[in-house]
Amino acid sequence: MSKTTAATLALTKAGIAFIPFPYDYDPDAPRIGLQAAEALGRAPEQVFKTLMAEVDGKPVCVVVPSDCEVSMKKLAAAFRGKSANMMKPVDAERLTGFKVGGISPFGQRKKVPTAIDETAELFDEVLINGGQRGLLVGLSPADAALATEAKLVDLVA
């Protein structure tokens, strides 16, 4: 596995410090984010999953704790929209340039508005997908928000 991805290159180019956390990816895991947290011995609420969604038909990126579900109502409100829904996996892969299970908010093919759940601020370091299956990157919540121009808001159900 390479530790150099579009995501890690984007972070490096932006001058954002991060630590790579490779782990054994299990494609059969029922919840990939939880499997990643367990593999790395981290609390699930510190390992964030990256999801692609649509608000009023426009793509957005959502980063939430791996043990939580996104509230579509809160997601729509975060982007001043009326409705939100999850993006189809094939559309998410085409838009981001990453494979499902390896989608990162950093270094996406096309930049889209991003929101990170506000609970990220409870930690000095959060782990977020590094752009490929089996690779997370650890960085401060402030740096994650800076790198993605994200807003930190309540997103979980």
Residue 123 Cα distances to 37, 43, 67, 117, angstroms: 15, 11, 15, 12
- 8 Å CB contact between 57 and 91: no
State the CB neighbour count (10 A cutoff) for residue 130.
Answer: 29
What local confidence, expressed as pLDDT, does residue 110 receive? Answer: 92
What local confidence, expressed as pLDDT, does residue 2 receive? Answer: 61
- 8 Å CB contact between 7 and 130: yes
pTM for the whole structure: 0.93
Q: pLDDT tens digits, the chain, 157 residues: what are they?
A: 567 899 999 999 999 999 999 998 888 887 888 888 889 999 999 999 999 999 999 999 999 999 999 999 999 999 999 999 999 999 999 999 999 999 999 999 999 999 999 999 999 999 999 999 999 999 999 999 999 999 999 999 8
How do the domains of the chain map onto residue ranges?
6-153
Helix, strand, or coil (residue 134)? coil
Architecture of domain 6-153: Alpha-Beta Complex (3.90)
